[in-house]
């Protein structure tokens, strides 16, 4: 990510050039079951490509369309059952369905490891083999949005999919440096860093939001620690609860608010009740900017992240941030816009948050650095600019 200038400025300070046109280019975007930032990112990319004249088809499960609404001017949706886990019979049907849908595409861009492998199989003109998958029809770009965190047989299956993507994709984009390094180690032909920007806020922050949200939460004068994310294993929430047990000994006792929902909710609720932790599960919130405005410190305790939209939102809100040193987070926050700790280290997380709560000057420095860093984040236009250049380069070489 850039460090100095804003992405929507030219180096000489002049207004940016007109966006590259893609008139007549036929682009197929393929994704599976999408949650959170991935679905919003693909929707923004599809709309941005269509605005530049491309004809776009988004291929994915019906539930994904229902959640994100990809269809719009220049964009149509085609249902394909791309599941989040290997299912041999259904996957074979998905490949056949994709083969028909992608036959006329000039370029195919798959989002996610499984979607990438299925798209490569669907565009192959020869029998799949370890060295022959690259001999397909339309060039395939694959963006990897997540690391493989599982072990055992699952890891072996996903390792095989990684090799398919590395050998068959014309270009692989990773949302974090570790994903790029993984693809280079597997000898992918071209590898780059994906741009996954958070949508720009619709309106400026509400000055009254802080007091209103704190009153609604019953925070009073207590420090408010906020985490936003899906209640899933990747998000490191058991570590957050471990740290909360330490914060419970402070005076005044902080309130930890976790916004989001997911499969771990019953387990987290049971532990919060059993240990009487100062933690509230807020469920899904449509007012995340207001929630961040009310926070004294924001925490991202994830086991792994790429370019999480919530980190971008925290930086834009100018809030002190404590996060884990994983995936793409260190690149996003730079040298001074967050305190970083190792994942799974509850004591380190507890101490880092306590240092922010105990030192108003540190909190102010982190908040100011967050706002400066937010000014360097890529925009949705930057993401579409990047992809337009990649697509043009690949199609001109066909």
Domain ranges (residues) in the chain? 26-197+379-396, 209-374
Each residue of 133-173: pLDDT tens digit?
445 689 999 999 999 887 788 888 899 999 999 999 999 99
With 80 as the cut, is the pLDDT of residue 129 above it?
no
Q: Could you tell me if 345 and 13 are in contact, meaning their C-beta atoms sit under 8 angstroms apart?
A: no
CB atoms within 10 A of CB 232: 18
Residues 316 and 311: their CA atoms lie apart, in Å, by 9
Contacts of 114 (CB under 8 A, 6+ apart): 32, 82, 83, 84, 86, 161
Residues 50 and 62: their CA atoms lie apart, in Å, by 21
With 90 as the cut, is the pLDDT of residue 15 above it?
no
Each residue of 180-219: pLDDT tens digit?
999 999 999 999 999 999 987 777 778 899 999 999 999 9
Residues 358 and 103: their CA atoms lie apart, in Å, by 61
Each residue of 35-56: pLDDT tens digit?
668 999 999 999 999 999 999 9
Could you tell me the fold of the domain covering 209-374? Rossmann fold (3.40.50)
Task: State the pLDDT at residue 126.
Answer: 52
Higher pLDDT, 125 or 40: 40
Q: Could you tell me if 309 and 292 are in contact, meaning their C-beta atoms sit under 8 angstroms apart?
A: no
Task: State the pLDDT at residue 36.
Answer: 67
Could you tell me the fold of the domain covering 26-197+379-396? Rossmann fold (3.40.50)
Backbone torsions φ then ψ of 326, nearest 5 degrees: -140, 155
Each residue of 352-371: pLDDT tens digit?
999 999 999 999 999 999 99
Each residue of 215-265: pLDDT tens digit?
999 999 999 999 999 999 999 999 999 999 999 999 999 999 999 999 999
> Measured between alpha carbons, how far is residue 253 from residues 94, 189, 218, 276, 321 in Å?
53, 53, 13, 12, 19
Higher pLDDT, 7 or 306: 306
Each residue of 273-318: pLDDT tens digit?
999 999 999 999 999 999 999 999 999 999 999 999 999 999 999 9
Helices 152-168/113-123 angle, 10° precision: 50
- Token duo for residue 283: 């469920």
With 50 as the cut, is the pLDDT of residue 30 above it?
yes
CA atoms within 13 A on the CB side of 174: 22
Give this prediction's pTM. 0.90
Q: Which residues of 32-46 are buried (b: 16+ CB within 10 A; e: fewer)?
A: bbbebbbbbbbbbbb
Q: Could you tell me if 275 and 245 are in contact, meaning their C-beta atoms sit under 8 angstroms apart?
A: yes
Task: State the pLDDT at residue 149.
Answer: 82
| Residue in 51, 110, 93 with CA at minimum distance from that of residue 75 | 51
- Token duo for residue 116: 């990438």
Q: What is the largest CA-CA distance in the chain?
A: 68
């Amino acid at each position: 990510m850039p460090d100095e200038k804003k992405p929507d400025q030219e180096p000489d300070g002049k207004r940016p050039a007109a966006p590259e046109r893609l008139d007549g280019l036929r682009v197929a975007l393929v994704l599976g079951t999408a949650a959170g930032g991935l679905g919003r990112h693909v929707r923004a990319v599809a709309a941005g490509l269509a605005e530049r004249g491309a004809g776009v088809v988004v291929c994915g499960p019906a539930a994904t369309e229902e959640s994100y609404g990809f269809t719009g001017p220049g964009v149509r949706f085609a249902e394909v059952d791309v599941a989040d886990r290997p299912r041999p019979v259904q996957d074979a049907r998905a490949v056949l369905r994709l083969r028909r849908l992608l036959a006329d595409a000039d370029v195919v861009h798959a989002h996610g490891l499984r979607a990438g492998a299925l798209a490569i199989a669907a565009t192959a003109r020869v029998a799949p083999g370890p060295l022959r998958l690259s001999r397909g029809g339309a060039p395939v770009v694959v963006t990897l949005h997540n690391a493989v965190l599982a072990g055992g047989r699952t890891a072996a299956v996903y390792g095989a999919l990684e090799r398919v993507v590395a050998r068959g994709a014309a270009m692989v984009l990773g949302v974090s440096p570790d994903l790029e390094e993984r693809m280079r180690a597997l000898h992918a032909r071209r590898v780059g860093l994906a741009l996954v920007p958070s949508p720009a806020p619709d309106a400026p922050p509400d000055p009254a939001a802080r007091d209103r949200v704190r009153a609604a939460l019953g925070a009073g004068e207590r420090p408010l620690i906020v985490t936003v994310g899906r209640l899933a294993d990747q998000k490191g929430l058991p570590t957050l609860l471990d740290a909360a047990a330490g914060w419970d000994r402070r005076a005044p006792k902080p309130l930890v608010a976790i916004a989001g929902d997911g499969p771990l909710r019953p387990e987290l609720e049971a532990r919060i009740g059993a240990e009487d932790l100062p933690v509230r599960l807020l469920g899904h919130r449509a007012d995340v900017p207001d929630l961040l405005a009310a926070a004294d410190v924001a925490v991202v305790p994830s086991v792994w992240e790429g370019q999480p939209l919530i980190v971008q939102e925290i930086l834009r809100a100018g809030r002190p941030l404590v996060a884990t040193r994983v995936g793409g987070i260190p690149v996003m926050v730079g040298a001074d816009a967050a305190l970083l700790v190792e994942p799974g280290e509850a004591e380190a997380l507890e101490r880092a948050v306590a240092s922010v709560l105990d030192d108003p000057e540190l909190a102010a420095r982190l908040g100011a650095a967050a706002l400066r860093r937010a000014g360097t984040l890529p925009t949705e236009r930057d993401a579409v600019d990047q992809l337009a250049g990649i697509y043009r380069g690949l199609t001109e070489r066909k």
